[in-house]
Amino acid sequence: MQEEVINLKNEALAQIMEVSSFEELETIRVTYLGRSGKFTSLIKRIREVSPEKRKQAGLLVNEAKNTIVKALASQKNHLKESARAWFDPTVPGIKPAMGHLHLVTQAIEEISALFTQLGFVRNRYPEVEWDWYAFETLNMPEGHPARDEWETFFVDAPANPKFGQMVLTPHTSSAQVREMQRVKSPPVRMINIAKCYRRQIDASHVPMFHQFEGLVIDKGISVANLKGTLDYFARNFFGPERKTRLRPFHFQFTEPSFEVDVTCGVCLGRGCKLCKNGWLELGGAGMVHPRVLAAGGINPEKYSGYAFGWGVERTYMMKSGLQIPDIRLIYGSDLRFLKQF
Ligand code: DAH
């Protein structure tokens, strides 16, 4: 009997070491220690053992049973531990935070897509520019008071005898003559969207902002073409029911010159608290001044053109009806603000 007990114990322990699930462990427990298990029947047989050996046999069986109970418990713990470390690839993961394009980049992409559909070509020109392209060729000779409108940053570098001082582009109009020189002979259909720099900072101004500038030159271009393009833009950018109007204004580089207004998105031109008179101001436009055409090497007797230039941030804010109390928020990199767009 002694040998039988030891064999049975070893057999059970070997099986316990092999298991990989709680179910298997339970089966082993039932097989050896269950009501009709192998040890239970062994215990019943103790009675058959001679009285002098009975006590020892009982102790042996008990010891074997206890060893198995302990082994079962420790294997169970072991299984629990490894279940915790187990990696389940089907559990949904933690989503990484996804960024998106900055609202100004989104606006730029939308604006360039709209004008590209009309056949405009987007070109890029230097942001550090000569006075010549920023003012001189735009009919604003040195010392002209109209220059005061553009609070310009001058670069501390030697001036060029012909092109004058270097400046940070105060407006995208500096691309007009550059584009004429590039194309050489019309048609010209340019959209220039770029950074502009002015010495200004308060709740409604930042020293760096964006403008988009359109320039079209060909034979027989008139204000009607300008108006058509502006209306196309207003309908597609702001909404199908929106209209534009031209208000007489003055710029040195256009003649005639206009300020462009668009109907208010809330009252559609009837007048409300937001807009007061039904219209919101978009930006400047006009027919390219003959002197500007001539500066670009284009014969003003033969060709005419229109141009317009507006602020990207401003236009975007008008589209979404956003009333941003402080324009500096746009460039503040505060994700709580930027996430909303
Ligand atoms: N460059 C002007 C500005 O910064 C805007 C402008 C007005 C551009 C009239 C134009 C134009 O092309 O025709 O205020």
Residues with CB under 6 A from ligand 1: 171, 173, 213, 251, 254, 283-286, 307-309
Task: Domain count for the chain, please give it.
Answer: 2
Pairing of strands 121-122, 188-197: parallel
In this structure, are 58 and 124 located in the same domain? no
Q: Tell me, in angstroms, the distance from the centre of ligand 1 to residue 305's CA.
A: 14
Share of the chain above pLDDT 90, in %: 61
98 in a structural domain: no
Mean per-residue pLDDT of the chain: 92
Residue 320 located in a structural domain: yes
**Tell me, what's the pLDDT at 320?**
65
326 vs 293, residue with greater confidence? 293
pTM of the entire structure? 0.73
Q: Over 90: is that where the pLDDT of 171 sits?
A: yes
**Do both 264 and 316 map to the same domain?**
yes
**Ligand 1 pocket mutation pick from 139, 251, 288 by most atoms within 8 angstroms of CB:** 251
- 205 with 329, same domain? yes
Whether residue 189 is found in the same domain as residue 311: yes
Residue 247: band (very low, low, confident or very high) from pLDDT cuts 50, 70, 90: very high
Distance CA 99, CA 105 (A): 13
Q: What is the CATH number of the domain that holds 203?
A: 3.30.930.10
- How far apart (Å, rounded) are the C-alpha atoms in residues 140 and 168? 16
Instruction: For 47-72, write each residue's pLDDT tens digit.
Output: 888 888 888 888 888 898 899 999 99
Shared domain check, 249 and 122: yes
Question: Phi and psi (nearest 5°) for 213?
Answer: -125, 130
- Closest ligand 1 atom to residue 176 Cα is 12
pLDDT in tens, 16-47: 988 888 898 899 999 988 888 888 888 888 88
Q: Residue 91: inside a domain, yes or no?
A: no
The residue out of 55, 85, 115 marking a domain boundary is 85
Assigned domain for 45 exists: yes
> Does 255 count as an annotated binding residue?
yes
* Residues 255-266 pLDDT 10s: 999 999 999 888
Whether residue 308 is found in the same domain as residue 210: yes
Q: Is 112 left (phi over 0), alpha (psi -120 to 50) or beta?
A: alpha
Q: Which atom of ligand 1 is least distant from the CA of 171? A: 4
Compute, in angstroms, the gap from residue 284 CA to the centroid of ligand 1.
Answer: 5
Q: Is the pLDDT of residue 321 over 70?
A: no
Indicate if 232 and 313 belong to the same structural domain: yes
Which residue's CA lies nearest to atom 13 of ligand 1? 285
Residue nearest to atom 7 of ligand 1 (CA): 284
Mean pLDDT throughout 128-140?
A: 97
Task: Please tell me whether residues 189 and 316 are part of one structural domain.
Answer: yes
Task: State which ligand 1 atom lies nearest to the alpha carbon of 284.
Answer: 7
Parent domain of 49: 2-85
The residue whose C-alpha atom lies closest to atom 12 belonging to ligand 1 is: 308
Residue 97 lies in a domain: no
Measured in angstroms, how far is the CA atom of residue 83 from the centroid of ligand 1? 70
Q: How confident is the model over 209-227, as a mean pLDDT?
A: 97
Determine the Cα angle at 241 with ends 236 and 247, to 5°: 85
Residue 59 within a domain: yes
Give 150's pLDDT tier (boundaries 50, 70, 90): very high
Task: Mark whether 75 and 223 lie in a shared domain.
Answer: no
325 within some domain:
yes
